[in-house]
Chains A and B, each alone.
Chain A
Amino acid sequence: MMTIIQWILLGAALFSVGLYGVLTRRNAVLVLASVEIMLAAVNINLVAFDTYLSDPAYTGQIFALFVIALAAAEVGVGIAIILMIFRNRHSVDVDELDLMRY
Chain B
Amino acid sequence: MNNAALLPIAPEVILLAGALIVILLLVLLDRPYREGGIVAMAALAAAAVASVLQWQALGDGADNLYFSAQGVPVPRLPMVVMDHYSAFAGVVIFVVSMLGLAVAWRLVLTLGARSAEFLTLVLLAVAGLHMMTASANMIMLFIGLETASIALYVLAGFTRERANADEAAVKYFLLGSLASVVFVYGAALLFAATGSTAFYGAGSMREFLAENIVAEPAILLLAMGLVIVGMSFKVTAAPFHQWAPDVYQGAPSGIVGLMAAGVKIAGFAALGRILFSALPSQIDDWAPALAIIAGASMIIGTVLAAVQDDVKRILAYSGVAHAGYILMAFVAGNEGIGSMWFYVTTYALTVIGVFAVVAVVSGSRSGSSPLAEWSGLSSRAPVLAWVMLIMLLALAGIPFTTGFVAKVTVFTAATDAGYLWLMILALVTTIVGLYVYFRLAAVMFLEGPAGVEEVVVPPTTALVLAVAAVTTVLLGLLPWPLLDLAREALPL
* Interface residues, chain A, with chain B CB atoms under 8 Å away: 8, 15, 18, 22, 28, 31-32, 35, 38-39, 41-42, 45-46, 49, 53, 55-57, 59-60, 62-63, 66-67, 70, 73-74, 77-78, 81-82, 84-85, 88-89, 94, 97-102
Contact = CB atoms under 8 A, between A and B. Distances in A.
B75 A74 contact: no
Nearest to B197: A59
Nearest to B178: A22
A73 B146 contact: yes
23 contacts: A32-B174, A42-B188, A45-B188, A46-B188, A49-B188, A49-B192, A56-B74, A56-B75, A63-B139, A66-B143, A74-B180, A78-B177, A81-B157, A84-B169, A85-B170, A88-B166, A89-B163, A94-B170, A94-B174, A97-B170, A101-B245, A101-B246, A102-B304
Given A56-B75, A99-B171, A74 B166 contact: no
Interface of B: 74-75, 77, 138-139, 142-143, 146, 150, 153-154, 157, 160-161, 163, 166-167, 169-171, 173-175, 177-178, 180-181, 184-185, 187-189, 191-192, 195-197, 242, 245-246, 304
Identify whether the interface residues of A are mostly helix, strand, loop, or mixed: helix
Contact of B74 (A55, A57, A63, A100): A57
Contact of B195 (A55, A82, A88, A102): A55
Given A49-B192, A88-B163, A102-B304, A74 B171 contact: no
B153 A46 contact: no
3 A-B pairs with the lowest CB-CB distances in the bound complex, closest first: A57-B75, A85-B166, A45-B188
Contacts of A63: 138-139, 187-188, 191, 197
Given A45-B192, A77-B153, 20 more contacts: A18-B181, A28-B170, A38-B178, A49-B192, A56-B74, A56-B75, A57-B74, A63-B187, A73-B150, A74-B180, A81-B154, A82-B170, A85-B166, A85-B167, A88-B160, A97-B167, A97-B170, A99-B242, A101-B245, A101-B246
Contact of B185 (A45, A57, A66, A89): A45
Identify whether the interface residues of B are mostly helix, strand, loop, or mixed: helix
Contacts of A53: 195
B163 A15 contact: no
Contacts of B191: 46, 49, 59-60, 63
Contacts of A88: 160-161, 163, 166
A102 B177 contact: no
Contacts of B173: 77-78, 81
Among A22, A42, A55, A56, residue most surrounded by chain B Cβ atoms (within 10 Å): A42
Nearest to A67: B184
Contacts of A22: 174, 178
Contacts of A57: 74-75, 77
B140 to A, nearest CB: 10
A59 B242 CA distance: 34
Contacts of B138: 63
Contacts of B171: 97, 99
Contacts of A97: 167, 170-171
B189 A45 contact: yes
A63 B180 CA distance: 14
